[in-house]
Structure 1
Amino acid sequence: MGPTVTLLISIGLCLDWAVRAQQDPLPRPTLWAIPSPVVSKGADVILRCQGHLGSHRFQLWKDGELRDERNTSWQQAEFMLRNVDDWRYAVNYSCRSGQGPLWSELSEPLALVVTGAFPKPHISSSHYYSAITPGTTVTIWCYISPQGPSHHYSFALLEAKSLEPLQRQSPTGTPAAFSFPSVRAEDTGSYSCVYYRKTAPHMASWPSQTLELTVSGFLPRPTLWAQPGLVMTPGANITFWCSRPKMSSLGEVIFTLWKAGTQEPLQQQISAHLWTSFLLPPVRPENTGSYSCTYMVQTASARGSEHSEALELVVPGSLPKPSLSALPGLVVEPGMHVILQCRQPPKTFLNSLTFTLLKVGTPQPLQSQSPAGTSADFPLLSMRAQDAGNYSCVYHERMAPHQVSDASEVLEIWVTDALPKPSLIAWPGPDVASGANMTLLCQGPSWSTRFILHKEGSMDTPQDVSQFSLTHVTPKDSGNYSCRYQPGTNGSLWTQPSDPLKITVRASVPSNTLLITLSCVSFLLVCLLLLAIFCHRSICIAGALHRDNLKRFFCCPCLPQGVCLPHHAEAPRDEALYTEVAKERPSEPSVSNSKDPEGVTYAHLNLRTLNKRQADPKETPIEPTVYATVSLD
């Protein structure tokens, strides 16, 4: 690539970036501190800058001055501040992200607060007893000594262990009040507070004493989910994940996995993390059922959580498969309701069954019911295009041995505004000869009731079957064809047309053309044969014997045998061959045998005009006359 091309490309890129900078400025990034913007003196802190998609350059600014810059392939960058033991760290930080030559605006400023500069404040609560009823309003106060000028300071309520700020206050007096209008179980925890300078440097006090807040009742319920899904084939593995809310008062907890209908827990795990996993062995049909999880603290109170939302695991088994039907039909208008009825097969006579509705492509069951009868109705309300799809159902026993059926036959449900486009194919192919027969097949769903064949510039052809027969086609039948189909629920609704199919009908070749062609070829072959014979006869050379009385005759092999004169038997076989060339001798039209007493035959050849015309005896040849004496055996 030449320097001129490189220069032009660079100019183009610069102009592109300039235009983008004017039309679409980069969004502002976000800056936060890990683990907290409140840092103990001497601790480390990470400032993380999260940019927009495509960001690869980041800058960290400290009190309006650029402090650090780095490139990264991700959309974020981390800046480490180690051993924050100097008050000069307790200032405002911001960052910006860049893409190419463009830079975003600076992020919202982050005030880094460093503790240990002032005496610790006092902390108290409106409720001093150990357990607080859920829904109660609780207030926590944080105040400094009377001689402290509180109007110069802001207050922060912290989670005691991580120092993460939960609430901030900037009161004009003291104390600062932090309110919980309606406490919940997840508000249980350990709290402390600090006060710090409103302006930089943001020096803070030592954290206050820890205040324990306990809300009675169950702990907040956890969340349970499964990987890879809840509809599993026998022999597959499945993992359940149980996660709890973040609570400062909790350390290690006991996670428990439960299955409905059993009194004993399936598995238990002890973890200080917010989640844990439960791996089931290769599942079998008897693993079908409802699962949930809980967690419990490892203290004397042994407080536990509520059960998570239940998940239905389905492992199809060996019981006869049920039947699935749809009312009012397989094709419905948008907004209509559909009822899918799952019915156990006749003569099974099983009781205490749970029916489950499945959808192909969805990793978990849609609905489950435990009716008293032998069938369950699953309503699909206000159908939309995304509700179209393939449905099936299973049933299983609610009590041991928990047998499970195979899945029913798949039922395909369609919403009219999401009907599939048909396809059009030709047999034996789209390119045929004139006079042939062909069939056009319009392919749509199995429930299609009526079809239309359309040709550009012609009338539509409707019929009740998907095959359109074209007999004895001609070139006039060439063109672009398409088709549509009609669902049975609406006599006026037709789907969008298929992709056009180009049909080509080739004109037939007339029957006498072949005879004419063969006749012409035969005629040319005869002409070539006659021309070959003529040329073969015209290239004969005559020779004569000279001086001796022995005579020989030389004839062209192209002449008949009777034309050649027989030679004498006594002629010697070793007669010499000589050639005489007369450079300026006049040509003769012919040589007479009567003028040659020795019986020599002379042939006069005009080499220039041999292949062009017959020699004129009156003309004198330009080239010399050549005589040849040939000894014949």
Structure 2
Amino acid sequence: MLTTARASVTMIALLVSFLLLWGFTLGPVAEAAVFFDTRPSLSAKSESQLEPWTNITLTCKAQLVTMDFELLKDGTSQELVHLHSPTIKHQFLLTGDIWGLYRCRSGLSNDGWTELSNLVEVTGPTAPPPPALNVDRESAGILRPGDKATLVCVAPLSGVEFQLRQGEKELPVPRSSSNPDRTYFHLEALAPRDSRPYYTCRYRLWNQQSAWSEDSKPAELIVSNEQLPAPELLAQPASRSPEPGALVRLRCLGPLVGMRFALVREDAGGRRVHRVLSPAGTEATFELRNVSVADSANYSCVYVDPEPPFSGSVPSASVELQVEGPPPRPRLRALWSGAVTPGRDAVLRCEGLVPDVTFELLRVGDTKPLERLHAIHPSADLTLTYVGPQHAGNYSCRYRSWWPNRFESELSDPVQLLVAGH
């Protein structure tokens, strides 16, 4: 059965921007296995490179094979498709008046439907926002020359091409991706020659037919050949079990002047750069403020010469910190003002002060989370999709970790969501 509800208006010449409000997960497999999200993903692409405003195709990709797909625009069904054989995705071609907010859903084996997909907004011309460039967690340590490293470039738009750069120079490095909005650059860590190894990425729409986006914020690889003597790392206070909420200073002492220092955290996830300080004489002090159980780990430090030939040190001996008690309570903020317009998304930012955890959004009084998102940063944007009167109420958030230290925060103070017209 095929039902069509399209306006028969001539195609308007538009540039199309795609605002994809879709969280991504870089969390460990053990955490990902806790729940399974059946919501499909929706992405957009133009078949014409010369006229990107024509032949816009929305691809609805399901998590499970199905024969049923539905496309909705501004909360109203636009096309309902029942196929002859099961598949994992279906493409919808937009015609007529294409302005609007699009979502899709896919059928389930029990004749039901999944929840709605992420939002794709087709609007007028806008400048593409910059991407985000992160060092993959397995590469985020102190690298030796020749080590393999992976940089992940994530764009807020779908169906784009990416470019990795060092300064103004494009790097023709291998890349791979299974997602339309991100790519993974695989490169060999080279000892820097002329400057520190800072990298940025950018993207553009429609393959060479549009301008490049702004560069991402730079990501840095710390490369050390371990040719210089090890520094010494001291904790102040010297206790290995500081009180929760205390300030712990980790002082790295090196034998050479004008070095660049890095603090390294060692836990079940491996050796990862925790913080970097610019040249500071023969020492640097790293501050861990408001410590909690999430800071429990072994710490070491290294230093790197900021001048050619950019030699690096052997790591210091480790300092162990073990903090008892609960992690800091998170804060929840609404990323809108006033009442939310029905059909829009409501985004709430949970700020937890602890990186590399899973954030959860809960309705006050409920025990089952409405949304979950793993984030490598200490905050996450949790989204209520296609807001209606049923979403009005108070919400809180929390965060949790299953490894290397198992903990769960208290709930944040509640935030009230009002729906316009109700």
Greater RCO, 1 or 2 (C-alpha within 8 Å, sep 6+) = 2
Larger Rg: 1
TM-score range, shorter-chain basis? 0.3 to 0.5
TM-score by length of 1: 0.33
Q: Which has the higher helix share?
A: 1
Q: Which has the higher strand share?
A: 2
